[in-house]
Amino acid sequence: MQTSKIRRMMLALACFIGIVAATAVDDDDVESLTVSEGGNLTISIPIKKWDEDPQVLVSRLKGSSQQLIAQITCHDRVCERECLISEVSLICDEENVTLILMNVSFSQSGLYKVCKHGDTQPENKIYQVTVFKPPPCTFSPEQPPPAIYSNSFTAGVTTSALGISVLITAVIGVIS
């Protein structure tokens, strides 16, 4: 148990160093993600070797500070998940750790850092999350039936009336 705490502290220190270095990162190294307000944002974090007891920390960067929002710590293929805010979910499968920001609001726009660590060197990834307002729903009023449809019955009646009057004229002509 003590080893687990030491590993967490080392991971936190490695992530902090990565965050300090990230302040000088070019925009090219930051992945941009967009989500509509009220939607969910999913970030997939690939894990190559589960036997290396991966650790993943997810932080929100605000200026020069960071707020830890979720973490997963694995030891002997048993993982403990901890989500520190209610709008976050972590899911594990055989290949990935998936972070889901749920019901996203404008206040969640900003930089997020994912720090992944195993027995190898830590990997850091920064995401710029932009929340946009969805376009308003527009409903068009019900369209009246097309003119061809509404006139087809009238045209049929007119053609029938003309045919009947020609037939009557022909019968009168034969009788006379």
Look up the pTM and report it: 0.61
Give the pLDDT mean for 144-162: 47
- Neighbouring C-alpha atoms within 13 Å toward the C-beta of 40: 10
> Domains of the chain, with CATH numbers?
2-132 (2.60.40.10)
Helix, strand or coil, per DSSP, at residue 25: coil
Give the pLDDT mean for 106-124: 87
List, for residues 51-107, the tens digit of each pLDDT value: 778 899 999 999 889 999 999 998 887 889 999 988 999 988 878 899 999 999 999
Bridge partners of 62, per DSSP, are 65
Task: Report the sign of the C-alpha dihedral through residues 13, 15, 16, 22, in that order.
Answer: positive
Among 33-37, 135-139, 167-171, name the one with the lowest average pLDDT: 167-171
Query: What was the pLDDT predicted at 40?
Result: 95
Query: What was the pLDDT predicted at 8?
Result: 55
